[in-house]
Amino acid sequence: MNEPYHRMAKERGYRSRAAFKLIQLDERFGFLGGAKHVLDLGSAPGGWLQVASERVGGDGLIVGVDQRPIPPLPLENVKTIVGDVRDDEIIKLLCSIFREGIDVLLSDLSPDVSGVWEVDQSRQIELAKAALRVARSLLRADGWAVIKVFQGADFEAFIEEVKNSFNYVRVVKPQASRKRSAEVYIVARGLRSGGA
């Protein structure tokens, strides 16, 4: 099967085709421009970390969190943590790293796929909700959140939850996402104080 993004990822040295999803989202919204502190949830194998590293520059810090170990990246502005973002201890650790908050929260979190769509979609929504909780804890008022969501049951309710938390909300499907995929990305900015 001719997969252009997979081929381009190999050519450019990115660890995953997903790198191009982040590139396309950033080209449209520009959330990494001027960002210095970025948190990437669900970051294994590291494609998004590579893109963020390029765009943030050497004086920034990008931290990736995943339950699976992320093979070391030769990037001085990238740190990685093995852990579950639903774990309070991981949140405390992130708060200690980013004492002044973060400019961008990226979440490409996905569950281990069971093959039962209703189960997988429900698990993914739970991960998206976890990412939103992290955003509320760490994001600066003018910061950006980019959160992957699977469309299906509870999708519209989750969108409303995000709209209650942010002033600006868009739902986007990057060109690099597979056409048959139910994934979309919520891009949000302007955290509301006391957002539900």
Domains observed in the chain: 20-191 (3.40.50.150)
pLDDT tens profile 53-94: 999 999 999 999 999 999 999 999 999 999 999 999 999 999
The per-residue pLDDT of the chain, averaged, comes to 92
Residues 106, 38: contact at Cβ < 8 Å? yes
3-state DSSP percent of the chain in helix, strand and coil, to 5 = 35, 25, 35
Which residue's entry shows tokens 């942010």? Answer: 166
Residues 21, 54: contact at Cβ < 8 Å? no
Q: What is the pTM of this model?
A: 0.92
Distance CA 141, CA 190 (A): 6
pLDDT, residue 16, reads 83
Question: What counts of helices (H) and strands (E) characterise the chain?
Answer: 6, 7
Catalytic site includes residue 148: yes
| Residue with the larger pLDDT of the pair 48 and 182 | 48
Distance CA 190, CA 117 (A): 33
Distance CA 93, CA 142 (A): 22
Catalytic residue among 10, 21, 148, 163: 148
Residues 19, 45: contact at Cβ < 8 Å? no
Residue 168 in 3-state DSSP? strand
Of the pLDDT bands very low, low, confident and very high (cuts 50, 70, 90), residue 180 is confident
Q: Is the pLDDT of residue 146 over 80?
A: yes
pLDDT, residue 5, reads 66
